[in-house]
Structure 1
Amino acid sequence: MPNGNLDTWLHHQGNQATGRHLGLAQRISIVTNIADALDYLHHYSGRPIIHCDLKPSNILLDIHMNACLGDFGIARFYIDSKLRTVGDSSSITVNGTLGYMAPEYAENGHASTCGDVYSFGIVLLEMLTGKRPTDDMFRNELTIVRFVEMNFPDHTLNFLDCRLVNDCNGTIDQIAAGTENLPIFQSLLSLLRVALLCTRQSPTERLNMREVATQMRKINMVNTGGRVESSTSFRRLVSWASQRS
């Protein structure tokens, strides 16, 4: 893809231009694209599909910085968990990426749409904090989810990606002065709330991707002055593939 993947934009390598970074509006647009894609996979693709390995390196960016999901190597068709038991040898198992896998995968290994929701929440937290879930600071009982929970909402500015803080300098000054009803600040809080609801320990307490996509479109609409800019690139890709098959 012309603009590579999300990982290279969030975490600059030694040979990459240090000036290349994503502003808040771009991050919201990208994560809205991904929410739309997962919503399509889970609810509108005919038979629900679980990606199983959502992470920044599998989020590809086209020439217009629209995001598409890549690497469906371990994607699974969804099978109703009520029809399966933990000991069933034909139950679906998943091998995702450390830090992004839902905690229940370590216990039973069964893939679920709830697992994709959890991974989405982790990616969203990574986009807002600038830290990988495998960062050295997250060890023992401290995870990226726990770290954000401990500081949200009163100390939100303390854990934001420094590049986001730099982009929002004027807003930060107003927030420090006690003006907390600014659209940018409210969008940040809304994004963090969505991420934390996606990463609840219990799968049954998480949002589903239809709910997540709806929330993301609302946040995106606020930041685009009322214009909803959700991407249809994933549906176009599916249509193109079906025509070639």
Structure 2
Amino acid sequence: MVMVLAIDLSHNHFSSGIPSALASCTALEYLNLSWNAFEGPIPASLAKLKNLQDMDFSFNNLSGTIPVALQDMTMLHHLNLSSNSLTGEVPKGGVFSDLGTSAVAGNLGLCGAWINLPPCPNFKSKHKGLSVSHKVTIVVLISIVILILCFLLLAFSYKWRYKRQSISTDNVDDSVSSETDSADQSTLDLHVEPTRISYEQLVSATHGFSEANLLGRGGFGSVYKGTLYNGTHIAVKVLNFQDKNAHKSFITECNALKRVRHRNVIKVITVCSNPVLKALVLPFMSNGSLDRWLYLDGGDECKLNLNDRLTIALGIAQGMEYLHHYCFVQVIHCDLKPSNVLMGDDITPYVADFGIAKVVFGDSLDSLASTNALQGSFGYMAPGTEYAMGGKIGTMGDIYSYGILLLELLTRKKPTDTMFTEGLTLPKWVCMNFPDDIAEVVDHTLLRNVNESDPSAVLVCLTQLLQVGLVCTNKSPLQRPSMKEVVMKLNDIKDAFLNISTIL
């Protein structure tokens, strides 16, 4: 039996109704059907997906009312029904209780004053002219009900207040800072996997965090490879207690990843926190980072062909699009670069390392947003004071970093290469040779099969990709595209490249 955890059919041309058979995927956690042409009602049977945490049906032609049964999906934290033709009142329970107006925007037939939509019609009773005795009876009954409710509220107020303080499964700051007194009770579950991993299991899996299992060291800690008792390979990111900023980094990364669900963003298996260890437990990526693939053993060759690099560029962009626009909170990575992109099987990229990420709750940035320290890595940060030296942090900084990464992916030149001196930068170097002399800047391995008399699909694709990188690295943040626009452009480039390649 296949247990499907995620389905993403977004940005296609699917039509007809949403298949009710999806309700049989009981293990499903992520469902994205956005940007299609699905029509008809939302199947009420989807309420059977009790494990579903993220559902996106935006930009379709769905009609009818929103099934009230969806409010019983207790694990559902992110819902987007915007830009459809839905009608009727928006339910108030479950995920709808914290739903923003943007999640249902573009449905002109929806109503509900509590969510800043037009109030629903108030249908008055056809029975008029109640007698005085009936009116008195109604008033007395209402008064009795109010009194009973007041007594109940007084009786349970203290108990409710205590319960709210003691149960905080979604607040990582409170959970992580509430350290246990023994290593046996040291695991904080982030609702990502049902299996808890204890401190002793991590010690055993990494052979006591031995140097032989060390994968690398970063600014806030070290990463070790581990193997659990059942053979599962994991990566354990251990916090450096001596770094005063490491604890903030740990909290930020927990907040950024605790409910993230996307095929191109690394997920957290669990978190271990006790007086002797704070660690993130992540899936082990045997293929290493994108940086390793680009510069394997420092040789002149790169095994990634153009189709591979296009797939990687699109995957990273889709992961960043999710973080910027579709995640339960907006996440600004602040340090996007090849070494922070891990490679899975089938050339699947995973955006990783959220140690200095900024989490936006509503309209406010978290407490780490304002700082005088450098935010990011040299060469990948946006120019000037945009957020390199404590300037205003926003998604446009990530767009710039993505543009540098894309140019590096195509040229195989780091932005910190020794050739970039005296004002010459990677974007400026590419721009000087664009579009007529791109052969002077792109990785030579991408041009091996190009016929000079017939540039075919390769040069067309490379030119379009370099243009995306140059637009993303525009000095003015206002002139850069959003990640939504980048993903749409890359999808168009990939479709055109595959079509031309097939014809040729």
Regarding TM over 0.5, the answer is yes
Rounded Cα–Cα distance in structure 2 between residues aligned with 1:45 and 1:128: 29
Structure 1 residue 78: Cα displacement: 3.4
Count of matched residue positions in the alignment of Structure 1 and Structure 2:
211
Where does residue 13 of structure 1 map in the other structure? 297
Amino acid at match of 1:161: D
Where does residue 494 of structure 2 map in the other structure? 220
- Partner of 1:122, secondary structure, is helix
Where does residue 61 of structure 1 map in the other structure? 343
CA RMSD of aligned residues (A): 2.3
Amino acid at match of 1:49: V
Query: Are the structure 2 counterparts of residues 58 and 106 from structure 1 closer, same or farther at C-alpha, using a change threshold of 3 Å?
Result: closer
Rounded Cα–Cα distance in structure 2 between residues aligned with 1:46 and 1:215: 25
Mind listing any 5+ residue stretches in structure 2 that lack a counterpart? Answer: 1-284
* 1:95-147 residue CA offsets vs partner (Å, 9 max, x unmatched): 20000011122354332100000000000000111100000000121000110
Where does residue 422 of structure 2 map in the other structure? 140
Query: Are the structure 2 counterparts of residues 20 and 206 from structure 1 closer, same or farther at C-alpha, using a change threshold of 3 Å?
Result: closer
Rounded Cα–Cα distance in structure 2 between residues aligned with 1:108 and 1:39: 24
Query: Are the structure 2 counterparts of residues 156 and 79 from structure 1 closer, same or farther at C-alpha, using a change threshold of 3 Å?
Result: farther
Rounded Cα–Cα distance in structure 2 between residues aligned with 1:129 and 1:97: 19
Where does residue 2 of structure 1 map in the other structure? 286
Is the counterpart of residue 23 in structure 1 residue 301 in structure 2? no
Larger Rg: 2
Rounded Cα–Cα distance in structure 1 between residues aligned with 2:468 and 2:424: 20
Query: Are the structure 2 counterparts of residues 219 and 5 from structure 1 closer, same or farther at C-alpha, using a change threshold of 3 Å?
Result: same
Moved over 4 A (4+): none
Higher fraction of helix:
1
Rounded Cα–Cα distance in structure 2 between residues aligned with 1:4 and 1:19: 17
Higher fraction of strand:
2
* 1:49-85 residue CA offsets vs partner (Å, 9 max, x unmatched): 101100001111112111111101111113799x89x
Where does residue 229 of structure 1 map in the other structure? none
- Pairing 1:91-170 to 2, within 5 Å after superposition: 91-93=369-371, 95-103=375-383, 104-106=386-388, 108-166=390-448, 169=449
- Pairing 1:56-95 to 2, within 5 Å after superposition: 56-78=338-360, 91-93=369-371, 95=375
- Partner of 2:342, secondary structure, is strand
Is the Cα–Cα contact under 8 Å of residues 3 and 65 in structure 1 kept in the other structure?
no
Is the Cα–Cα contact under 8 Å of residues 78 and 113 in structure 1 kept in the other structure?
no
- Partner of 2:350, secondary structure, is strand
Is the Cα–Cα contact under 8 Å of residues 5 and 58 in structure 1 kept in the other structure?
yes
Where does residue 33 of structure 1 map in the other structure? 315
Rounded Cα–Cα distance in structure 2 between residues aligned with 1:90 and 1:185: 43
Rounded Cα–Cα distance in structure 1 between residues aligned with 2:499 and 2:461: 13
